[in-house]
Amino acid sequence: MPPTGKDALRTRVQELVDKNPVMVFSKSYCPYCIQVKELFTSLGKEYVALELDECDDGSSIQEVLHELTGLRTVPSVFVNKTHVGGCDKTLQAHRDGTLQKLLDKDAVTYDYDLIVIGGGSGGLACSKEASSLGKKVMVFDYVVPTPLGTSWGLGGTCVNVGCIPKKLMHQAALLGHSLKDSRKFGWEYDEQVQHNWDTMRQNIQDYIGSLNWGYRVSLRDKNVRYENAYAEFVEPHKIKATNRKGKESFFTAEKFVIATGERPRYLGVPGDKEFCITSDDLFSLSYCPGKTLVVGASYVALECAGFLAGIGLDVTVMVRSIFLRGFDQEMAEKAGAYMESHGVKFIKKFVPTSVEQLEPGMPGRLRVVAKSTESDQIIEGEYNTVLVAVGRDSCTRKIGLEKIGVTLNERNGKIPVNDEEQTNVPSVYAIGDILDGKWELTPVAIKAGRLLARRLYGGANLKCDYINVPTTVFTPLEYGCCGYSEEKAIEVFGKEALEVYHTLFWPLEWTVPGRDNNKCFAKIICNKLDYERVVGFHVLGPNAGEITQGYAAAMKCGLTKEKLDETIGIHPTCAEIFTTMEVTKSSGGDISQKGC
Ligand code: FAD
Ligand code: NAP
């Protein structure tokens, strides 16, 4: 006869304890129960929880547990059939390592504690930190060459084909401008000034080479095993790695971090992959690109168009809709207008439909046909180079995620994670550009990677804060911002809740050369219902990145307009403008600058 009454409950409790490696008897509203469940989640350990408040016989089960363990309260935690205790005892066991030993009792052994796929900004930060915390770590990095065959070394996008060469080429362009200004400051030179692409490219590539080398050395110093191979999942805890020669090897790990980044998207029109380049090719291009068409109007497109024009090339940007989607449009328009006044041509509301090679060469000649997005109008033009900068695709579709059940956002290929960067598969985490709905910026990937390793292996609980992340677009006139755009702030807080302070300004350095007065612009968006807290910070001017970084720290501390007014400026700088802003947008007052 099957047991009845209390006997049946005893059998049920015993079965739950025997069947589940981690069994938590819990109550859904109990904060201590939540704490232990969060602990197991953070350890990547699956657990089964029986919520006694949601069972009809919950109080009887609690009595059985009392009989069995001497513990009346919840949580009551069992690991591999051993009763650990309640919340305090479980946390203590975690601290002194006995919990891990219990968890490992029947555990399979793996080659590594952690395997990181992708040796870019996020992956390198995470793997080095995990190794410093005593874990056995391996990192894979492999660059699939571009359709034109361009490839690069360890370090990911930022170092090789992103932030670093971009900022250095931006600097090359700024120096050109400074050279022109310098005459007004007394510098005299007779020779014709010209720019040499090969010199710039070679010196920048040499510097990048030194960074690639530095990354290899630091991985070795930190005891992280690095393999230059393409990694993909074959089982939940196993990956296949394929090296350049096609040799396959297999490795297992307890946990995985996916940090595979993104690669440029193509247009999908005839001739694009054959004849166009992307930012992945541009920075190491072995010849000067000449007359260039840049397709796209976001970060990458405008930055590249800006420095190419700045070193003296004939540059046209083909814009499908607006500048810098997602950014404050008043600022974006002003950044674009400055580029236009400095020689960049814009073809607005057109998209390319084909690219044809007229003549091969370095550079060759290309014909681009484009159609209007608003009418039937077709136009065509001839260029030496077409740079496609129409966004980037996540490298998540060819890494075997379907084999292990990691959920992707099918629309954009990004990986959704919880606030601890954990995917729906508890042993798999993701960081950096591939995250759904997060920033695609190097410092964000680094911070997320480092904090993840500390939470997994260092007993820390600090999570990556994705709010008020500052960023700068390195257009010829740099645009830095932190917090909400004006459009988004209106959507979130309502127009009536906001006060916008704004002003044009003229950097002192530009006065003597007599250039670009009333082009630089500063704007803050304040929430009147919250002590005029600054919810949006925007600056368009030289060194905008440097300025924004400082004010971003102040925003983290809850910056208000009053605090800005109390702050004494540093004179003469551009940054001081934020300490003296008086004109509100709603007043319609004059914001032009008459002098210093
Ligand atoms: P990545 O740095 O892209 O690293 C991913 C690595 O994984 C790559 O090396 C890739 O080859 C490798 N990989 C992919 N799949 C596999 C696999 N299956 N096996 C092994 N290896 C694999 N950000 C800023 O903050 N400031 C800037 O000024 C800035 N400028 C930029 C300019 C350009 C032109 C571009 C394109 C980007 C720029 N960014 C900038 C963005 C920044 O580069 C990224 O946000 C950052 O590199 C993301 O880091 P990550 O670790 O997510 O990926
Ligand atoms: P993006 O922000 O996704 O912008 C894509 C651009 O291409 C948009 O202007 C878009 O126009 C246009 N576009 C898309 N499809 C097109 C088509 N078929 N024809 C013509 N135009 C098309 O991409 P991104 O500039 O490559 O930047 C990617 C990420 O890298 C950014 O989100 C950023 O975080 C990071 N990044 C950072 C920096 C920095 O920190 N300074 C610099 C570069 C990149 P619509 O607006 O019409 O869609």
Domain ranges (residues) in the chain: 5-103, 112-263+393-457, 272-390, 478-587
Spacing, Cα 276 to ligand 1 middle (Å): 21
Residue 292: pLDDT above 90? yes
* Average per-residue pLDDT for the chain: 96
Whether 432 is in the pocket of ligand 1, judged by its Cβ within 6 Å, is yes
Rg of the chain in Å (alpha carbons): 29
Report residue 54: phi and psi, to 5°: -105, 0
Whether 262 is in the pocket of ligand 2, judged by its Cβ within 6 Å, is no
Question: Would you state the pLDDT for residue 4?
Answer: 64
Report which of 7, 429, 118, 437 is spatially closest to residue 256, judged by C-alpha positions: 429
Residue 533: pLDDT above 70? yes
* Token digits of residue 197: 């692409």
Q: Which residue puts its alpha carbon closest to atom 43 of ligand 1? A: 158
pLDDT confidence tier of residue 595, bands split at 50, 70 and 90: low
Question: Would you state the pLDDT for residue 160?
Answer: 98
Mean pLDDT within 360-368: 97
Spacing, Cα 444 to ligand 1 middle (Å): 11
pTM attached to this predicted model:
0.86
**Domain topology for 112-263+393-457:** FAD/NAD(P)-binding domain (3.50.50)
Residue 1: pLDDT above 70? no
Mean pLDDT within 501-507: 98
* Cα–Cα distances in angstroms (integers) from residue 83 to residues 18, 236, 328, in the given order: 11, 28, 56
Burial 49-71 (b: 16+ CB within 10 A, else e): bbbbeeeeeeeebbebbeeebeb
Whether 126 is in the pocket of ligand 1, judged by its Cβ within 6 Å, is no
Report which of 236, 248, 247 is spatially closest to residue 110, judged by C-alpha positions: 236
Question: Would you state the pLDDT for residue 191?
Answer: 78
Domains 112-263+393-457 and 272-390 alike in fold? yes
Residue 212: pLDDT above 90? yes
Question: Would you state the pLDDT for residue 253?
Answer: 98
pLDDT confidence tier of residue 5, bands split at 50, 70 and 90: confident
User: What residue type is 152 in one-letter code?
Assistant: W
CA distance linking residue 144 with residue 413, whole number of Å: 18
Question: Would you state the pLDDT for residue 46?
Answer: 87
**Which atom of ligand 1 is the closest one to the Cα of 144?**
11
- Condensed to tens digits (0 to 9), the pLDDT of residues 393-435 reads 999 999 999 999 999 999 999 999 999 999 999 999 999 999 9
Mean pLDDT within 342-354: 98
Question: Would you state the pLDDT for residue 102?
Answer: 87
Architecture of domain 272-390: 3-Layer(bba) Sandwich (3.50)
pLDDT confidence tier of residue 20, bands split at 50, 70 and 90: confident
Q: Residues 156, 157, 161, 167: what is their CA dihedral angle, to the nearest 10 degrees?
A: -110
Q: Please identify which residue in the block is written with the tokens 């920075």.
A: 283
Three-state DSSP class for 112? Answer: strand
**Which atom of ligand 1 is the closest one to the Cα of 439?**
45
- Condensed to tens digits (0 to 9), the pLDDT of residues 473-496 reads 999 999 999 999 999 999 999 999
Whether 320 is in the pocket of ligand 2, judged by its Cβ within 6 Å, is yes
Ligand nearest the Cα atom of residue 351: 2
Spacing, Cα 433 to ligand 1 middle (Å): 7
* Token digits of residue 457: 């292996």
* Token digits of residue 31: 């904060």
What percent of the chain has a predicted confidence (pLDDT) above 90? 91
- Condensed to tens digits (0 to 9), the pLDDT of residues 33-52 reads 999 999 999 888 889 999 99
Mean pLDDT within 453-475: 97
Question: Would you state the pLDDT for residue 215?
Answer: 98
CA distance linking residue 172 with residue 304, whole number of Å: 12
Which residue among 157, 283, 466 has the greatest number of ligand 1 atoms within 8 angstroms of its CB, and so is best to mutate? 157
Ligand nearest the Cα atom of residue 393: 2
Mean pLDDT within 272-289: 98
**Which atom of ligand 2 is the closest one to the Cα of 279?**
26
Residue 10: pLDDT above 60? yes
Question: Would you state the pLDDT for residue 104?
Answer: 81
Q: Which of 66, 94, 538, 571 is catalytic?
A: 571
**Which atom of ligand 2 is the closest one to the Cα of 474?**
41
Spacing, Cα 397 to ligand 1 middle (Å): 16
Question: Would you state the pLDDT for residue 70?
Answer: 87
Ligand nearest the Cα atom of residue 166: 1
Reply yes or no on whether 571 is catalytic: yes
- Condensed to tens digits (0 to 9), the pLDDT of residues 76-118 reads 999 988 899 999 999 999 988 889 888 887 667 899 999 999 9
Which of 290-304, 365-379, 551-565, 580-594 has the weakest average pLDDT?
A: 580-594
Q: Is the peptide bond before 165 cis (omega within 30 degrees of 0)?
A: no
Q: Which residue puts its alpha carbon closest to atom 36 of ligand 2? A: 299
Question: Would you state the pLDDT for residue 414?
Answer: 98
What percent of the chain has a predicted confidence (pLDDT) above 70? 98
Mean pLDDT within 440-467: 97
Question: Would you state the pLDDT for residue 103?
Answer: 87
Residue 298: pLDDT above 80? yes
Is-contact 457 298, C-beta < 8 A? Answer: no
What percent helix, strand, coil does the chain show, rounded to 5?
40, 25, 40
Domain 478-587 matching CATH 3.30.390.30: the answer reads: yes
Question: Would you state the pLDDT for residue 190?
Answer: 85
Question: Would you state the pLDDT for residue 44?
Answer: 83
- Condensed to tens digits (0 to 9), the pLDDT of residues 140-197 reads 999 999 999 999 999 999 999 999 999 999 999 999 999 999 999 999 998 789 999 9
Q: Which CATH class is domain 5-103?
A: alpha beta
Spacing, Cα 441 to ligand 1 middle (Å): 8
